[in-house]
Amino acid sequence: MALTESTIIDKIEIVSIYKAVQVRKANIIKKDGVEITRTFERYVLDPGTLDASDNLVDNPLTNIPDEVKDICNVVWTDEIKNVWRDKLINEKVTVE
């Protein structure tokens, strides 16, 4: 009886006008080569955060698989980053 465990990225979605990148990872356990269970984890990436001067600091994409990084680098254009920055500034003003 051999148990194996693997993790794959099985879904990448781009959502909203801000081009958030949603990633779903599947954790798969197999017994003798036959899948016996599959669980999922999700995370969402956005273009960045504001610094103290309201400049957008790009998301560093650390510990992110290359295939996800490549998608982020394509969809997070300068235009999207500017719209995202404006959104963050507007939210900051309403919270304070």
- pLDDT on residue 1: 79
Question: What's at 85, amino acid-wise?
Answer: R
Ranges of the chain whose pLDDT falls below 50:
none
pLDDT value for 62 = 95
Contact (CB, 8 A) for 11 and 24: yes
